[in-house]
Amino acid sequence: MVGPSRGGRVTAVAGHRSQPSTFYMGACGGGVWKTTDYGITWHNVSDGYFATGSIGAIRVAYSDPNVVYVATGSDGLRSNVIIGKGVYKSTDAGKTWAHLGLEKTGNSGAVLIHPDDPDLVYVAAIGNPFAPNPERGVYRSRDGGQTWENVLFISDKTGAVDLEFAPDNPATVYASMWRAERKPWTIISGGREGGVYKSTDEGDTWIQLTSGLPNSLIGKSDLAVSAGDPNRVYVLIEAPGDEGGLYRSDDRGEEWTQVTDNMPIRNRPFYYTNLDAHPKNPDTLWASANAFLKSTDAGKTWKSKSVPHGDNHDMWINPDNPDIFIQSNDGGANVTLDGGKTWSSQHNQPTAELYQVDISDDFPYRLYAGQQDNSTISVPSFPPRSIPGGYTALWESHGGCETGPAVPKPGDPDIVYANCKGRFGVYNRRTGQEQQYYVGFWNIYGHNPRDLLYRFQRVAPIHVSPHNPDKVYHTSQFVHVTVNGGRTWNTISPDLTAFTPETQVRSGEPITNDITGEEHFSVIYEIQESPHEPGVIWVGANDGPIHITRDNGEAWKEVTPPGLGPYGRVQTIEVSPHCPAKAYACILRYQLGDFAPYVFKTEDYGRTWS
């Protein structure tokens, strides 16, 4: 591996009270990792065993630290979330793993293990994020995962996202239920179904807890309990307006009162909504959100705490020494031994999510990409074995931002073209400066896409002509081209998308808008100019159509493979290096609940496909 070893998003962490230096982390795309030295070093323990790298929850058995359960499928349901493949179990502290089924439960929010019986385990199954399915809700196994039963089911659109025991009685289980669904153009978080449920008989029967909680729409929620007061239960709830926020019960959920509607602890709820209580002091709470926040007055007031990276997701606190805990965010996982004053590094965990890798044409060449949640980055293809300042001294950022791509200019690799959510940048490695240019509006956040003149997606492509390194293509719903480093642009196409008005909406319903531009639909997602013929350009949209021009944009022809159906995302078009008329197209439909692979080939410029 040549790097980077800079961490990526981690959505699940766990530890064990008897082994304070040992922790596990689960990345949203990089599998399960383990440290035995407080986060100084990490090693992967899931490769070769897991069918997916997307991790939803990890739990170590209280009664046996060798027993570890992992539920796959991250609970941060972004549009590019990877679906889970069920539950895995290790009985040798992560050395080997067995698959325990639940393959159809999609993504997961929590695992709960009985404190005295490691064979009694519960899983919070969110379900398939992209389509209704009955395999969601609370699952229970009494035989260590050999068999499962669904003990709490509401509907094929509402699953479970969190679970907690009563600290003094594991027969009492609390569950958060969440109606969640992803579409290519929006996130649906919340509805009339969902909320907080309680069982007092190990999950055999359940009642919904409603007194004092929001009684209209309820979205994602997360529970917290403390052994310092087993009667007290907290829940952080997504709900309309000032109904959302932190609620508290002092009678095990019978009656609830709202503590605060503080927005920082409940912002972007589908992505965050994580609450933890101090294991000894029930007045001390942590909320993992855009910021990492702490309260010492039972949630009335909150202060932001310093962590290595923003966008926080999970934590695990050692119940014997609460100053020791692990916390995770979009930059990885980090361990503290002093209550959060200092942290372990995130530059020792190669779990980065990378967009569109490119290479330079110098020697030795460098590899370029955009790293989700961090920046554009390049690394040398042949790094030296040692270097003053460490290996990170060789990493470079090249303008743009996390989404990338970063594309070195052919013939002059010190010039790098980069994208940042629809902003085009030209970075000069010789000077370390970047100049940014805008084809359209400078900020894609906060808009209804139907109101935008140019619909740029966060990962808007950049393509350099193979015939002219000064000619660069950049796409919204149109094809834009510059020949002077982005100072001026020409639009050389009409709208080449399907453009259905019903998909041009503010993302996020029915409670919280999430208008980051990630879901901008009906945009050109892929563009390639033929390496054989200047002016022969192929484009594919994220809502289905494929077009080609053979005269540099003067005329365009739709050549979408027939019978494919609407809304498939054209992920890749590749022109054959041997035959000008031959091209391959890959279409993704997983966001429509269709996980079949779609690969097409044409040998006549798209007139026919096989």
Task: Name the residue among 379, 392, 406 with its Cα closest to residue 2.
Answer: 379
pLDDT in tens, 492-541: 999 999 999 999 998 999 999 987 777 899 999 999 999 999 999 999 99
Question: Position 174: which residue type?
Answer: Y
pLDDT of residue 514: 86
Its sign, for the CA torsion 481, 486, 490, 494, is: positive
pLDDT of residue 351: 94
pLDDT of residue 5: 87
pLDDT of residue 448: 86
For 449, the 3-state DSSP assignment is helix
Q: Token match 């805008």: residue?
A: 438
Percent of all residues in the chain with a pLDDT value above 70, rounded to a whole number:
98
Tokens of 21: 């230096």
Question: With contact defined as beta carbons under 8 Å apart, do 583 and 575 qualify?
Answer: yes
* DSSP 8-state class, residue 591: G
Percent of all residues in the chain with a pLDDT value above 90, rounded to a whole number:
85
Euclidean distance between the first and the last CA atom of the chain, given in angstroms as a whole number: 37
Q: What single string gives the DSSP state of each residue in 412-441?
A: EEEEEEEEETTEEEEEETTTTEEEEE-SS-
pLDDT of residue 397: 85
pLDDT in tens, 434-492: 998 988 766 777 788 888 899 998 889 999 999 999 999 999 999 999 999 999 999 99
Paired with 317 in beta bridges are: 325
Q: Right CATH number for 467-610 from 1.20.1440.230, 2.120.10.30, 3.30.420.40, 2.60.120.260? A: 2.120.10.30
Measured distance CA(45)–CA(34) in Å, rounded: 7
Cα distances from 495 to residues 455, 491, 492, in angstroms, run 10, 10, 10
Cα distances from 32 to residues 275, 312, 578, in angstroms, run 22, 18, 42
Paired with 418 in beta bridges are: 406, 425
Per-residue 3-state assignment (H helix, E strand, C coil) for 28-79: CCCCEEEECCCCCCCEECCCCCCCCCCEEEEEECCCCCCCEEEEECCCCCCC
pLDDT of residue 387: 67
Measured distance CA(377)–CA(371) in Å, rounded: 7
Question: Which residues in the chain land under pLDDT 70?
Answer: 385, 387-393, 441-442
For 188, the 3-state DSSP assignment is strand
pLDDT of residue 389: 58
